[in-house]
Amino acid sequence: MAKLKALFLWCWNRVLWFWRIISRPSAYLSLGFLTVGGFICGVLFWGGFNTALEVTNTEKFCISCHEMRDNVYQELTQTVHFSNRSGVRASCPDCHVPHNWTDKIARKMQASKEVWGKIFGTISTREKFLGMRLELAKHEWSRLKANDSLECRNCHSSVAMDFTKQTRRAAEIHGRFLTTGEKTCIDCHKGIAHQLPDMTGIEPGWKDKPELQGKTTSSYHGPEREMRAYLADLPAK
């Protein structure tokens, strides 16, 4: 009983000591007030930061600049990602901003260069945009290549694909390159939501390595023939 009483007194003394510390006035305000005030300010800052972050992750924000609204957004509206039979629409941030928080912050830091471009009018006219189109596209292709087409995989999964419902060519290419990890989505789907720049000298993602060109495999027959057929199907500009 004596030990229990001693323990209680020790705990009580610790509580009193802590209370004296936080209630002791500093030069003007008590430490307790500063602690509570700091906590409240931290909550307000974090809430405001995340609110601003979400505002910049909306399509409305993305197309508030005429450079985006008059160029790439107009192209997006003509694709299956904008209007389709299922009614599922992919907006600008769905494809250009990662969903998880850490990658999203990293992407926002990268995008700070775009603010610089806006200030100095890097693509302020249609002519400037077209002149920079290949460079801008290469930046985005490289980013998606580096993260294994993360934004594509937020909606699309190779595991969930039913290859029997795809065209023969798509099923063969997916089976050979996608499921094996040899290629990633952006390697072959560069023009999926926007018009392509001049692709002269840029190899298609599904093209075989030089040592394999002209050979057949059990899962994909005649890569050069399929490539020519695909290019023939492309609409003439």
How far is residue 73's CA from residue 63's CA, in Å, rounded to a whole number? Answer: 7
User: Per-residue pLDDT for 209 more than 60?
Assistant: no
Domains of the chain, start order? 30-79+88-153 (1.10.3820), 162-182+219-231 (no CATH)
Mean pLDDT of all residues in 176-199: 89
How far is residue 67's CA from residue 79's CA, in Å, rounded to a whole number? Answer: 19
**In the block, residue with structure tokens 């994909």:** 220
State residue 207 phi and psi, 5-degree precision: -70, 140
Q: Tell me, what's the pLDDT at 218?
A: 40
Mean pLDDT of all residues in 44-72: 90
Length reported for the chain: 237
73 contacts 124 by C-beta, under 8 angstroms: no
User: Per-residue pLDDT for 171 more than 80?
Assistant: yes
Structure tokens belonging to residue 71: 């160029």
Structure tokens belonging to residue 133: 């189109």
Percent of the chain with pLDDT over 70: 81
190 contacts 137 by C-beta, under 8 angstroms: yes
